[in-house]
A and B are shown apart, each in its own frame.
Chain A
Amino acid sequence: MTVALFDPRVRWLLAAVAVVGLALAAIARRRGAPRLVTIGLCATFGALGVLAAEAMVALTVRLAAPGSAQFNEHRWVLLAPWRRRGLWFGSVAVIAIALLSWRASRGATPLRRALLVWLRSAAALVALVVFLEPAIELRQVAREPNRVAIVVDDSRSMGLADHAGGPTRTARVRALFDASSDALAAWRRDHQLDVYSFSDVVSPASLDGVARTPPTGDATLIRKALETVRARYDGRDLAGVVLLSDGAATGDVDDGDGAIRDFLRSLDTRVHTVWMARPGLKDVAVERVDADEFAFVRTVVRIEAVIRSTGYPARRVQVSLAADGKVERQKWVELPADGTATVSFEVTPPRVGRYLYEIAVPAADDEAVTANNSRAFVIRVIRDKIRVLQVAGAPSWDVRALRAMLEENPNVDLISFFILRTQDDIALVPNDEMSLIPFPTRELFEEQLPSFDVIVLQNFEFMPYGIGDYLDNIRSYVEGGGGLAMLGGDMSFSSGGYHGTPVAAALPVELADPWGQGDLIDTGTFAPALTEVGRTHPVTALRYAVPDNLAAWKALPELEGVNRVLGAKPDATVLAVHPRLRTARGQPMPVIVAGDYGQGRTLAVTTDSLWRYGFVAAGRPGDDGRAYGKLWENAIRWLIQDPDLRNLHVDSDAVEYAPRATVRLTARLLGRDYQPLPKGKVAITWKRGADPATAAVVGTTTVTVGDDGTGTFDLRGLPPGVYRIEAEAEVAGRKVTAGDIFLVRDASLELEEPAGAPATLELISGATGGRALGAIDRLPADLAFDLPRVVRVDQRADVELWSRPMLIALALVLLGLEWLLRQRSGYL
């Protein structure tokens, strides 16, 4: 076996040192610089001495090694007990001897001085060898090839072409393998190559089969892939990993620099990376949306989105925010070149429930991916407090009773405005001696109106206050989901001039023309009679059981006076009627009427004496006057469309789902008394689409609820999209409905950041000791991998260098020559 101390490059270097030293000496001699001549000659002698020493070691091993064995590995050992300390001590001693020799030989000719220093140093080195007792352990070992894992990205982003008409990233992988057969063959000499493809899962593959088909993976989970591959080689000899990817990871390598580095170091193997993407991809994407999962109804909710531009110059784009498939807000945003811009929107959810929002940017020319141009999300809208605006035309006991009742309710945020003085009243006192404030009509009816859940117009005449312009705002407010209650009085309904106004359109009663025939008001006392619907309606249900409710209403004090109306509107629900009065059509005069208008609700109470159900009732033995509070509590909850007042509920168990996840729907059916309705049947339809008007039916089923009134149904295998659930059931002969919305996320985040990210790969290779090969077209043959482990030692032999007679003789010769030279030079 041949033992080489140096590789060829070192040998060439030593030879160069010898030549350069000789040249330096010649030049220095010609210029008369004897010291430089000496240094040059020392360098030449030293370099030649080192080369000679290597040859002597090789010769010694060749001569001393047993001829029968086929040694294929060696290592150095020190037999002396001095170990590393001895090595340091001896080295210092050799250097000291060389320096002393240099000093002692001053005055000699350069050639002689160089020879003296060299001979003394060489002799000292030989002595050091004897002191340290080095030996070479020769071994005949056997190794089994270890594994190199080639991990190829198979996510959908690998199917992108970075330039229009150019090759896809997967095609580049194929081309890379095809062009690297030599390198792969070189790797196979010491290693076995295992190939894997990965996206969200890792799959075994082969060099011939990988990257042959379009990639389909929905994620690029690099960390998971490395973890999985490494786990496959636990207890086995892994030489290294070669990762081929575009670097467009989907989340699992951005856990923080420290965390990912710790993970990569824990792999305990080097990962070489090859970047398969190229610069130049064009894309505009909604990169991120920041919005709270919960928001409060009728309160501004802020939504922020980050728009990213890649490959385009700076330009303006119009970003839009859509709710339930309809664009609500639009904004122009300056997008920088290859950068991001943040855009913020504010929206005001009108009702409690789940809302689907979507932020979108239009597709640009040559854009590689358009699927990431929009991002949908769901916000759950909840209620903090019920916001009630009470506007009264004059203080009265009815006004005071409602205000007191609402103020006592901790769930109500009440704002009252009472007209304390009208234009008809005498004003003799200066304003600064009064506490009156101007009626903030514009602020209330134009600026702040949509912030209320319920508006109560209580005997309020609009005309004297210039509110006519705002009546359509009130109508729009109701149409958009607000609640409106109009209470009777001499300044209400037709008497308040509402006939023919937009507010009248929203009210559930037909108003009489005040210029027409007949009285607008009846001042007689009466006990209103509940209609069939009114016996169980959420507004008039003072008690759960119908007989109890009827008894409760019968025990109430009589009311005084009603506003006459033409009648209830056809689609309105009359809850209570006057016992004697009749409308022009011969119907009982309605007193309490409920109705829907647009997405909102309205309630008409044609008397201003409801307060008698509280204070006057409380004067009766056995009555606590709570009927008034209960009636209004019911009315407010009904007006705000309190979800608890619905008889049917249907909910999905989450707002957002991963593709193919199971969606569990729970239907809850309540009877008229809001108790669970056992064995009820609920028809459920699920539709796909953001816009309720255009959503397509995907499927239907019927769920029979159990004894607890609930039933579940699982939806499986839903493709990505927005889904609307519509449920329908029958309670006491009436159709009740419920709805819900959820989102099945569009096939992961894979194409949301499609541009290649070489930095990710550089991070991985840097942290694992591998090489970031970057964008290459051919794999290198000399890529560093761990050598296979020794699996068997067949033979071993030690060759002691220090005990060779030749070495002793060499030391003696060197010392003798040095002594002789000194003597000749006159140093002895």
Chain B
Amino acid sequence: MITRRRLLGAGLVGAAALARPRWARAIGPGSKFRIGQLSLGQPAPRPGATRRLLWAIDKYTSIAVDLESPVVTPTASTLHETPFLYLAGDREFAVPGPTGVEALRRYLTFGGFLLIDSAEGTTDGAFDKSVRALCAALYPAPAANLELVPNDHVVYKSFYLLDRPVGRLALSPVMEGVTRSGRLTVAYVQNDLGGAWSRDNFGNYDFPCEPDGERQRELAFRMGVNLVMYALCLDYKTDQVHVPFIMRRRRWRPDDGAQTPPATTPPSKPPSP
């Protein structure tokens, strides 16, 4: 129920929010979300794509981002500074050596996330083969490898409600991924997400989206936001479904119809700051 006191309080809070000083937007570089561009020797087909995605994330979500996406290699000492890696390509690449594979595996095991984006315009090209070889090296049989990510997975509802991963293209209606301990560690999209995100310095998109044009581009951005949101929040959205039940189960407030007698001593008040 809205009381006069509460209404006035809300007004004051709102006024305070508008008039608050401009505090720093981030506590430090490490607190911002960054995307590391994983380099395995292949040229980056959409070099400005992640910057555009991060810009969208900054505008549409509460996530504080660093627009710069450093290039990292599996063996770089800075690999763990960017828990989100983006691997894009349009051609074959070489699977890293044992040291690189082990470093990547360790990265993914301890919480890292790898988004692989195929820009080669086909679902069975050389890049695809390299991706599958990389995943096979990261997770040798009999461990589960790339699998279809069901369309009710939380990654499709971590921020926007989506049902398929479209990019510049819409070749594959599904996303593939590697799941470890209930967590999606690798996500593989074959629809050239970066191609949809990529934009020149004048604000023009680099590539048209086919077949659905700008609506498809919008969905590609939403997919990118969802992937980042998933990497940062994990199954938070799934958890929300259970919250009302958990709340009810944990009943703490007495409901016995009894009254609490008035305190005989004045309640303690916070000391003046």
Interface residues of A (CB under 8 A from B): 298-300, 302, 320-321, 327-331, 344-348, 387, 393-401, 403-404, 407, 413-416, 418-422, 425-429, 432-437, 443, 447-448, 450-451, 459, 463-464, 466, 468-469, 472, 475, 479, 488-490, 495, 497, 499-500, 502, 504-506, 510-511, 514-515, 519-521, 523-525, 559-563, 598, 607-609, 612, 614-616, 618-619, 625
Contacts and interface: CB of A to CB of B under 8 A. Distances in A.
Contacts of A302: 256
B30 A435 contact: no
Given A331-B258, A396-B232, A415 B243 contact: yes
B144 to A, nearest CB: 20
Nearest to B76: A619
Contact of A618 (B64, B80, B233, B251): B80
Interface in B51-75: 59-64
Question: Which of B27, B80, B111, B257 neighbours the largest number of chain A CB atoms within 10 Å of its CB?
Answer: B27
Contacts of A505: 270-271, 273
A572 to B, nearest CB: 13
B173 interface: no
Contacts of A489: 27, 31
B224 interface: no
A602 B161 CA distance: 38
B24 A521 contact: yes
6 contacts: A345-B256, A404-B111, A434-B159, A434-B160, A448-B252, A612-B30
Given A396-B31, A615-B112, A420 B62 contact: yes
Given A395-B233, A403-B233, A615-B83, A451 B31 contact: no
Majority DSSP secondary structure for residues of A touching B: mixed
A407 B182 CA distance: 11
Given A401-B111, A495-B24, A415 B62 contact: no
B26 to A, nearest CB: 5
A426 B59 contact: yes
A504 B272 CA distance: 10
B132 interface: no
A425 B61 contact: yes
Interface in B218-273: 222, 229, 231-234, 236-237, 239-240, 243, 246-247, 250-261, 268, 270-271, 273
Contacts of B29: 523, 560-561
Interface stretch (B8-16, B88-96, B133-141): B8-16
A505 B272 CA distance: 8
A561 B12 CA distance: 31
A609 B110 contact: no
Contact of B111 (A418, A451, A472, A614): A614
A329 B259 CA distance: 5
Interface in B94-131: 103, 106-107, 110-112
B17 to A, nearest CB: 5
Given A607-B27, A619-B80, A329 B9 contact: no
Contacts of B79: 619
B28 interface: yes
Interface in B10-49: 10, 12-13, 16-17, 20-21, 23-31, 33
A506 B270 contact: yes
B232 A397 contact: yes
A222 B205 CA distance: 97
A561 B268 contact: no
Given A299-B252, A450-B252, A464 B273 contact: no
A516 to B, nearest CB: 10
Given A329-B258, A420-B229, A435 B252 contact: no
B147 interface: no
Contacts of A345: 254, 256, 258
Contacts of B103: 619
A463 B16 contact: yes
A615 B110 contact: yes
B157 interface: yes
Nearest to A465: B13
Contact of B254 (A329, A448, A504): A329
A525 B251 CA distance: 44
B198 interface: no
